[in-house]
């Protein structure tokens, strides 16, 4: 006669069940766990476990298909995530632009997120669930993830790395299909380099010199451009992955040919060969900045390319959906510091990469 399964075998079996229910069946709450005995579901609920999914508070879709979703977190704060569909020569891609913080403390002058204030860091599972919400909205798997939503990822690096691992291992999104963006936080680029990720590091420059950058990015005063570029150079030497540089074009501020020439010289001094992603400014209500004309954008591109700098211009998506980072959240939640008592810390099933254990990952 067959012997009864050991406790560890039963735990491993249950862990695999829970893993599949969360990541394959995409169950949103423990009560939806199919094929799991009722007594076990009740035990999970009684022990304070939940799946770690937040309800959609509001969603808006632009004419080009870009969809912005506001998720209502357990403490009643709102966080944005954006789904961007692209048909790349007949191959559909779906990019999820995810947030790493509720708001942002860095307050870059052109950014709507900073105008909405800063509340807190997101937990790892609150980053992962943004991708699941996009997949659910589009009925299509996410192929690319960019950590370019609300917040500064390097100020929440532990949770960002947890989410990155989960997205890679559990949702099967390749590391090279993910990009982590930063405006620059001292002593963090070297920490990221030590993890030897195959993902892209995107550094938001927005100016070719320290003086101008300080007026656009206030935090640059504590992290001089020279030090930032040295860290980028060392990042490439340690990881073998070239850094991509984001540059938001602001009409009459940083979009002149002379700025492009200075930017090219800066990158060549850092080793050259780097890629620049130009982002024509996405208008924000109440901002003094303006979007440059196409002629100015093209002149900037030509000046870089003539100096052997590869450059792309980001296609503006979802203007009619308040797609600039932070805009939609600000409409619904001007003040992130709500008068509400924070809930007790629940256990979360989302964000695990250890499917053999029934108690997957507490938040």
**Mean of all residue pLDDT scores within the chain:** 86
Residue 197 CB partners (closer than 8 Å, separation 6+): 164, 175, 180, 239, 241
pLDDT at 320: 53
**Catalytic status, residue 80:** yes
How many CB atoms lie under 10 A from the CB of residue 36?
Answer: 16
Beta pairing partners, 302: none
pLDDT, tens only, 175-195: 999 999 999 999 999 999 999
The domains of the chain are located at: 9-51, 52-321
For the cut 60, the answer to whether the pLDDT of residue 319 exceeds it is no
Per-residue pLDDT band at 102 (split at 50, 70, 90):
very high
Read off the pLDDT of each residue in 11-20 and give the average, rounded to a whole number. Answer: 81
Contact 97, 132 (CB under 8 A): no
Q: Could you give the CA distance from residue 233 to residue 242 in angstroms, rounded to a whole number?
A: 9
Contact 206, 289 (CB under 8 A): no
pLDDT, tens only, 49-98: 887 789 999 999 988 899 999 999 999 999 999 999 998 778 899 999 99
Q: Give the active site residue among 108, 111, 270, 325.
A: 325
Q: Estimate to the nearest angstrom the gap between the alpha carbon of 261 and the chain centroid.
A: 30
pLDDT at 221: 95
- The DSSP line for 243-291 is PEEEEEE-TTTT-SHHHHHHHHHHHHHTTS--EEEEEE----TT-S--P
Q: Could you give the CA distance from residue 121 to residue 158 in angstroms, rounded to a whole number?
A: 10
Per-residue pLDDT band at 8 (split at 50, 70, 90):
low
Backbone φ and ψ for 260, nearest 5 degrees, come out as -65, -40
Q: Give the active site residue among 74, 80, 162, 170.
A: 80
pLDDT at 271: 83
pLDDT at 97: 96
Residue 128 CB partners (closer than 8 Å, separation 6+): 52, 163, 166, 167, 171, 350, 351
For the cut 70, the answer to whether the pLDDT of residue 19 exceeds it is yes
The CA-CA-CA angle for residues 167, 168, 173, to 5°, reads 85
pLDDT, tens only, 124-157: 999 999 999 999 999 999 999 999 999 999 999 9
pLDDT, tens only, 192-210: 999 999 999 999 999 999 9
CATH number of 52-321: 3.20.20.70
For the cut 60, the answer to whether the pLDDT of residue 344 exceeds it is no
Per-residue pLDDT band at 326 (split at 50, 70, 90):
low
Backbone φ and ψ for 269, nearest 5 degrees, come out as -65, -25
**Catalytic status, residue 166:** no
């Amino acid at each position: 006669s067959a012997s009864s399964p050991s406790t560890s075998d039963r735990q491993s079996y249950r862990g695999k069940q829970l893993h599949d229910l969360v990541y394959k069946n995409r169950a949103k709450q423990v009560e939806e766990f199919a094929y799991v005995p009722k007594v076990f579901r009740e035990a999970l609920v009684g022990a304070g476990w939940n799946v770690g999914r937040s309800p959609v508070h509001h969603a808006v879709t632009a004419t080009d298909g870009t969809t912005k979703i506001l998720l209502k977190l357990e403490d009643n704060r709102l966080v944005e995530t954006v789904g961007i569909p692209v048909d790349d020569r007949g191959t559909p891609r779906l990019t999820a632009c995810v947030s790493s913080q509720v708001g942002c403390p860095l307050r870059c002058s052109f950014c709507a997120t900073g105008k909405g204030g800063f509340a807190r860091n997101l937990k790892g599972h609150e980053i992962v669930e943004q991708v699941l919400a996009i997949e659910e909205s589009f009925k299509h798997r996410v192929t690319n993830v960019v950590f370019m939503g609300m917040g500064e990822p390097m100020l929440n690096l532990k949770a960002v790395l947890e989410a990155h691992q989960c997205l890679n291992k559990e949702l099967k999104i390749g590391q090279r299909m993910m990009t982590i963006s930063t405006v620059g936080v001292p002593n963090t680029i070297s920490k990221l380099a030590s993890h030897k990720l195959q993902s892209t590091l995107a550094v938001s420059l927005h100016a070719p010199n320290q003086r101008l950058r300080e007026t656009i990015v206030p935090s640059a005063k504590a992290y001089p451009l020279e030090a930032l570029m040295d860290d980028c150079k060392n990042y490439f030497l340690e990881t073998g992955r070239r850094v991509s540089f984001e540059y938001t074009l602001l009409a009459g501020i940083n979009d002149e040919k002379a700025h492009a020439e200075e930017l090219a010289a800066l990158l060549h001094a850092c080793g050259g060969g780097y890629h620049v992603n130009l982002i024509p400014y996405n208008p924000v209500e109440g901002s003094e900045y303006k979007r440059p004309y196409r002629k100015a954008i093209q002149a900037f591109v030509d000046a870089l390319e003539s100096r052997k700098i590869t450059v792309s211009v980001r296609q503006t998506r979802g203007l009619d959906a308040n797609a600039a980072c932070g805009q939609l959240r600000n409409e619904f939640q001007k003040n992130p510091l709500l008068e509400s008592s924070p809930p007790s810390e629940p256990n979360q099933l989302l964000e695990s990469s250890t499917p053999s254990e029934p108690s997957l990952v507490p938040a």
